[in-house]
Chains A and B, each alone.
Chain A
Amino acid sequence: MSGHSTYEPKSGFTRWLDKRLPIVRLTHDSFVAYPTPRNLNYWWTFGAILSLCLIVQIVTGIVLAMHYVPHIDHAFDSVQRIKRDVPYGWLIQPIHAVGASMFFLAVYIHMFRGLYYGSYKAPREVLWILGCLIYALMVATGFLGYTLPWGQMSFWGATVITSILGAIPFVGEPIQTWIAGGAAIDQPTLNRFFSLHYLLPFVIAGVVVLHIWALHEVGQNNPAGVEVKSKADTVPFTPHATMKDLFATSIFLILFAVFVFYMPDALGHADNYIRANPVQTPPEIVPEWYLLPFYAILRAFDFNIGPIDSRTAGVIAMFASIGVLFVLPWLDTSSVRSMRYRPAARQFFLIFVVVSCVLGWCGGQSPSVVLAKSGNYSGAVRWAEGGQLIEQPIVATSEAEYPAASRAAVSAMRERTEILLASRNGPTGGMVRATVGGTPRSIEVRADTREELDEKINEAKRSAFGGGAPFILVDHNIPFEFTVTRLSQLMTAYYFFFFLVLLPLLGLIEKPNRVPDTIAKPVTGQAQGAS
Chain B
Amino acid sequence: MLRALTIAAIAAAAAVGVAFAASEAEHPEDYRFSFDSPLGGYDMGAVQRGFQVYSQVCSNCHALEHLAYRHLGEEGGPFAAYLVRNHETGAEEMTTTKPEHGGRFVEVTDNPYVRAIAEAATITDIDGTSGQPTDRPGRISDYFRRPFPNAIAARASNGGALPPDLSVIVSARHGGADYVRSLMMGYTGETSGAQHVNRYFPGEKISMAPPLVDNAVSYADGSPTTVAQYATDVATFLQWAADPHMEQRKRTGVIVLAFLLVLSALLYLAYKQVWRGESH
Given contacts A251-B264, A274-B172, contact A261 B253 (CB under 8 A): yes
Residue of A nearest to B169 (CB): A273
Bound-state CA distance A265–B202 (Å) is 22
Is B172 within 8 A of A281, CB to CB? no
Seen from chain A, the residues whose Cβ lies within 8 Å of a Cβ on chain B are 38-40, 77, 80-81, 83-84, 90-91, 94, 156, 159-160, 163, 166, 173, 176, 183-184, 235, 239-240, 243-244, 246-247, 250-251, 253-254, 257-258, 260-262, 264-265, 270-271, 273-275, 281-285, 311, 366-369, 451, 523-524, 526-527, 531
Contacts of A283 in B (CB 8 A): 13, 16-17, 20, 202
Of the A-B pairs whose beta carbons lie under 8 Å apart in the complex, a sample of 30, sorted by A's number, is A39-B280, A80-B66, A84-B245, A90-B249, A91-B249, A159-B6, A159-B9, A160-B10, A163-B3, A163-B7, A163-B10, A173-B3, A240-B278, A243-B270, A246-B270, A247-B270, A250-B264, A251-B264, A257-B253, A257-B256, A261-B250, A270-B172, A274-B172, A281-B12, A282-B13, A283-B16, A284-B13, A366-B17, A366-B21, A523-B279
Kindly report which residue of chain A lies nearest to residue B245, judged by CB atoms.
A90
Q: Mark B1-42, 1 if CB is under 8 A from A, else 0.
A: 111001101101110111011100000000000000010000
Given known A173-B3, A184-B2, A261-B256, contact A451–B13 (CB-CB < 8 A)? no
Residues A80 and B3 in contact, CB atoms below 8 Å apart: no
Contact with A along B118-160 (1 / 0, CB 8 A): 0000000000000000000000000000000000000000000
Docked complex: B235-263 residues within 8 A CB-CB of A: 242, 244-245, 248-250, 252-253, 256-257, 260-261, 263
Contact B253 A262 (CB under 8 A): yes
| A246 vs B274: C-alpha distance when bound (angstroms) | 12
How far apart sit A258 and B252, CA to CA, in the bound complex (Å)? 11
Residue B168 at the chain A interface, CB threshold 8 Å: yes
Q: Which residues of B have CB within 8 Å of A80?
A: 66, 167-168
Chain B nearest Cβ from A80, distance in angstroms:
4
With beta carbons under 8 angstroms apart, the residue of B17, B263, B274 that contacts A284 is: B17
Main secondary structure of the interface of A (DSSP, over half): helix
A271 and B257 contacting across the interface, CB-CB below 8 Å: no
In the complex, are the beta carbons of A270 and B22 less than 8 A apart? Answer: no
Closest A residue by C-beta to B176: A270
What A residues does B223 contact at CB under 8 A?
A: none
The docked-state distance in angstroms from the alpha carbon of A159 to that of B267 is 46
Q: Which residues of A contact B56 (CB under 8 A)?
A: none
Chain B 150-191, CB within 8 Å of chain A: the 1/0 string? 000000000000001101100111100000000000000000
Bound-state CA distance A253–B260 (Å) is 7
Which one, B16, B270, B278, contacts A235 given CB within 8 A? B278
Q: Which residues of B contact A156 (CB under 8 A)?
A: 9, 13
- Once the chains are docked, how many angstroms separate the CA of A26 from the CA of B84? 61
Q: Which residue of B lies closest to A254 (CB)?
A: B260
Which residue of A246, A270, A523 contacts B174 across the interface (Cβ within 8 Å)? A270
Q: B71 an interface residue at 8 Å Cβ cutoff?
A: yes
Question: B residues within 8 Å of A by Cβ?
Answer: 1-3, 6-7, 9-10, 12-14, 16-18, 20-22, 38, 65-66, 71, 164-165, 167-168, 171-174, 202, 242, 244-245, 248-250, 252-253, 256-257, 260-261, 263-264, 267-268, 270-271, 274-275, 278-280
Please pick, from B172, B252, B253, B263, the residue contacting A250 in the complex, using a CB distance under 8 A: B263
A244 to B273 CA separation, bound complex (whole angstroms): 11
Shortest CB distance A267–B (Å) = 13
Pair A271/B278 contact, Cβ less than 8 Å: no
A303: min CB distance to chain B, Å: 16
CB-contact partner of B271 in A176, A235, A244, A261, under 8 A? A244
Contacts of A159 in B (CB 8 A): 6, 9
Question: Which chain A residues border B249 with CB–CB below 8 Å?
Answer: 90-91, 94, 261, 264
User: Which residues of chain A are within 8 angstroms of B7 by Cβ–Cβ distance?
Assistant: 163, 311
Contacts of A451 in B (CB 8 A): 18, 21-22
What residues of chain A lie closer than 8 Å to B9, measured between beta carbons? Answer: 156, 159, 281
**A243/B173 contact (C-beta < 8 A), A257-B253, A257-B256, A285-B10 known:** no
Please, which residues of chain A bring their CB within 8 A of the CB of B271? 243-244, 246-247
CA distance A210 to B16 in the complex (A): 47
Residue of B nearest to A260 (CB): B253
Question: Contact: A527 with B21, CB < 8 Å?
Answer: no
State the Cβ distance, B98 to closest chain A Cβ, in Å: 19
Q: Min CB distance, B237 to chain A, in Å? A: 15
A166 neighbours in B (Cβ, 8 Å)? 3, 6
Question: Known interface pairs A184-B2, A367-B14. Does A273 touch B278 (Cβ–Cβ under 8 Å)?
Answer: no
CA A160 to CA B14, docked complex, whole Å: 13
CB-based contact B264/A247 at 8 Å: yes
CA distance A283 to B9 in the complex (A): 10
Residue pair B250, A262 in contact (C-beta under 8 Å): yes
| From A250, A253, A257, residue with most partner B Cβ within 10 Å | A250
Shortest C-beta distance, B71 to chain A (Å), equals: 7
Nearest-CB residue, chain B, relative to A40: B280
Besides A260-B253, A274-B164, A283-B13, 15 other A-B contacts (C-beta < 8 A): A38-B278, A40-B280, A159-B9, A235-B280, A243-B267, A250-B264, A254-B260, A254-B261, A261-B256, A270-B173, A273-B171, A282-B13, A311-B7, A366-B14, A451-B22
Chain A's nearest CB lies how many Å from the CB of B39? 9
B268 touches A247 (CB 8 A): yes
Q: Which of B6, B17, B173, B245 has a CB less than 8 Å from the CB of A163?
A: B6
Cα(A247)–Cα(B14), bound, Å = 46
The residue in chain B whose Cβ has the minimal distance to the Cβ of A164 is B6
- In contact, B280 and A38 (Cβ under 8 angstroms): yes
Quick check: B279 and A246 within 8 Å, CB to CB?
Answer: no
**Interface pair A265/B171, CB less than 8 Å apart:** yes
- Closest beta carbon of chain B to A437's beta carbon, Å: 40
Do B21 and A258 have beta carbons less than 8 Å apart?
no
Do A250 and B6 contact each other (CB < 8 Å), given the known contacts A262-B253, A270-B172? no
What are the 9 tightest A-B residue pairs by CB atom distance, in nearest-first order? Answer: A261-B253, A273-B172, A90-B245, A527-B279, A247-B267, A163-B6, A273-B171, A250-B264, A451-B22
Given contacts A366-B21, A451-B22, contact A77 B278 (CB under 8 A): no
- Which of B2, B12, B174, B253 lies in contact with A183, CB distance below 8 A? B2
B275, closest chain A residue (CB): A240
A90-B248, A254-B257 known; A524+B279 contact, CB < 8 A: yes
